[in-house]
Structure 1
Amino acid sequence: MTIAAVYCRVSTEDQEREGTSLDTQEALCLEKAAQIGYDVPAEFIFREAASGLTTNRPRLTELRAAAAVAGKFKAIIVLKPDRLARNGEDILSLFKEFKIGGVKLVFVKEEFEDSPAGKMLAFAMGWAAEMYVHATKEATKRGKAARMAEGKIAQGTGPGIYGYTWDKLNKQRVIDEAQAAVVRGIFDLISQGKDCFTVAKEINGRGIPALKGGPWHARTIRNVATNPAYMGVTYYGRTHREGKKTIRLPESEWKTIAGATPPIVSPAAFKAAQDALQRPKGRTGKLKYAPYLLTGFLRCGECGSPIVGGAMDRGRYRYYRCRGTFPRETGDTAICRARYIKADETDAAVWAQVKEILKHPDVHAAILKRKMDAAKDAGSIESLEKTIKKLEGQLRAFGGQHQRLMSLFSKFSTGEIDTSDALLDQINQVKKDREKAEKDLATARYALEQLREMEQVELQLPAFCAQILPNIENATFEDKRAALSLLKFAGTVTNGHVDGETIIPFRIQSKATHHWTNIGITT
């Protein structure tokens, strides 16, 4: 028998819907294959749970690669067009791709012919599926807004937070007194000056599970301590989605749901916790160690975790270590074995090189100017702003592409366009233009950000140097940190070796001659 492949797809919201499960789709596709005389080996059954709004799907990618190999199979059987894609352009693009490879596309639920009418039908169905997704999202958004105006929390907005149960009828949170006591304890401990890691470890030590039954983590503690819902303020509309990206909106655009969350802590207790979180963490009493110059500027070259400061023997040994070398607050082992490096020695080595920049501002300003001029070859700030505005306009215009494509189909059906390939080429070109505009926009935004940062440094560097140079050998910790921030210093630590760069550019390196390992001290 002739060989065929089967493709089945569900999205998250489809998985429990009757008639669209992967098993159901596979059974119907195999039945169709038998009816029209195809055999489907197990290795040619491609199943996945993924969105149909993009063709960048693992199993679909494997199917396309297999279809490109001549003779592997002669047909691809899919339940219906929206299982292949929810975008008319993508359906037609895949059809053309499979046709070039000599592979026929077969739908179980719809008749699809390699003819103008058949292609128009497939495109229209894909277009309708995409419009359905868009309409559903808009209706959901309107429904959420209406419920929130009534003081009710909409599903998907986050009703499930620790300390509350969920009142399904009234769509509101109800205090769980046992969990609320834990929440109040978290705020008390944070207000006393304990860090989130210590608080998580303490709660885990009591055997108290987090919301989903697992252990507490430092990030979870911080999320609790900074969530205004615990003082009775419930926000919505803090973010919105653009494709796969979540964009955080300005606080001025946030909205509140009155009465949706009863308070567990008072506004005063909430503020005390925020103030404590903002204070630098340090030892109390007599053990006051010097601050760490490079925290926030370095990351581990082994695992990518932040580099933080620490001390041993009552502050005698100050060092930097990878945050990944800490035992987890859950008691799990550390994720990194990077060695410790001496803080004083490393700070001195880095600062010595930063001083060279500050002592010769004219030289380094000229270097920065050359870098800026080279960057401006791709466009000045003004031209980049215009480019970004133009590209944003182009992308907004793509919102009307479906109507335009339907118009193309109409011309095709009346014979104004000669061949189906010509039409598909136009559709594919539109898609490529949109993808190119998206990439160009990202590039322009990055270039603009870099230029603005360089202009800021160019403007501020002379005045900063004039202020710090008279007493640079006795510069304060704050002055040193300000210099690192102004120069946009960032570096990594690998095998005790610091390797970083400033925006000018100026490479800064240091290697400690002695270090402390994670299991002992060597000198």
Structure 2
Amino acid sequence: MAQVEIIAANLKQNVINSVKKTIKRVCAYARVSTDSEEQLTSYSSQIKHYSEKIKSNPYWEFVGIYADEGLSGTQVKNRTEFKRMIGDALNGKIDMIIAKSISRFARNTLDTLKYVRLLREHNVDVYFEKENIHTLELDSEMFLTLYSAFAQAESESTSMNVKMGLNAKMKRGEPVGNQNCYGYIWNQQTKELEINEEQAEVVRLIFDLYISGLGGRTIARKLNEKNIPTYFDKKWSQSSINRIIRNEKYVGDLLGQKYYVESPITHKRSLNYGEKEQYYVKDHHVGIISREKWNKAQEILRKRNSKQIPEGRKHKTTYSLKYDFSSKIVCGHCNSTYVRRQGTKRKDGIAPIYWKCYQQVDEKDFCKDSKFIREDVLKSMFVELYNLIVKNKHKTKDKLLNAIKSTLKEENYQKETNKLNIELDKYNSKLSKLVDMQLDGIIDKDIYIKKEQEIKTQITDIETKIAELLNLKNTNNDISNKIKEIEKIMNESTSIKEFDKETFDSIVERIILGEIDEDGNNNPNVVRFILKTGTEYKCENNGIDTSVSFGSYKRCCKIISNRN
């Protein structure tokens, strides 16, 4: 019996031969990733190359060229021609697609495999010239995965290089990205922000109204009533007002990297809460508002955003400046904020204003020990207190300021910071040498990981110490500035006959109504004024019935303690 030799089928060769010998409807996909003149020339060259290549092959029928000009390849959703080509292929109009390389087709593994598999299911071949891959070949997917991964790594590397370049610009104090904002015009020639005076007047008005105590919603309503448009000719809103208050550009500063791109593949932008470095440039350009006004607005914003939850409560109270004593009065029993209320009209037609613990207003049984106080009585208390301070201003001033100054540490912050920075450089140098040793094979991986962790721990500790020093320095500077403000006010002060809100706000931090004494007893008849220096004044009522109001009080104010 004759011996039969089985000759294995060469499936790869069969596919290639079938592609060559069968008339195929063929198109090409071309893409360049920038809009530079050189790349656009390459774009034109690709179109010419593929047109000639396809038309010169007798087994191919030229369908056309699909080309996306000047777009990033990392996301398919931004490439209209690519999507049109895929649609035509799935509708049976194309048998084969030619692309210069996998990186020209798509730059992330997920998209590459997704569309190649989809096209294979519809018997559409994709030929990548550079890698010499036909996707209808049985082993194509393995090579495709590998090459696509390399293409994605290349895209991420390019993205990293771009980020490094942008970070270098920000470190030099150069603006990056779109700098247009309400009140400014970006000059393309000089690369500088220039003030738009018409809009700048609106910005100044917004800050003035905000500092006067109005909230974002009220300011927005006032601007809309005057038919003042926003940057995009829309209506003002609370959020648009708050964005202006927060924007450091209006004081002349510049903050770089407020946002960052999480991935070169998704291009998703996220607000930078500290995940990435930021670059703050002071006095970068001409500001629209003064730094004093800016700082005051930021302090108000900070207080309004810092919501407090009184002990035993779930409700949050917020900071406000709408009225003379808004957010200034605190209950000495439950630590809640006092709120303003208006009583019923008397025979003379006047409705008295009074202040009451929030917990009595919201839940009448929650704070049983606090009592309300009439606004006119509280104002009279402050007038008497202020005049007492002015009367003894030299003696009182020295006592107050010496007490607060004694709490400030006299530190050589710069000297300490310099020492820590030298130490930080030393450990960074050690870390760099450790990396070199590991790359050169001098130390193995386990030793490297252990030493790296030790050095990074030291670096973190030093950076923490530097941050703490800076924070302490800033805190003491803030207190010193407050002392200077108080000193200036007291030196220039004369007695007042009626309540003055500006004077009150300049020296009073808060008022505490009621207290718990050393024996644990509640005393609702005590009014304490806490000054911004930390000094505390106490006023007490004279024992007359206070169930109606703090209508009467002893005309005596004395320093009882120092907060610091």
Structure of greater Rg:
2
**Structure 1 or 2: larger helix share?**
1
Give yes or no for TM over 0.5: no
TM-score (norm 1): 0.41
- Structure with the larger RCO, 1 or 2 (CA within 8 Å, 6+ apart): 1
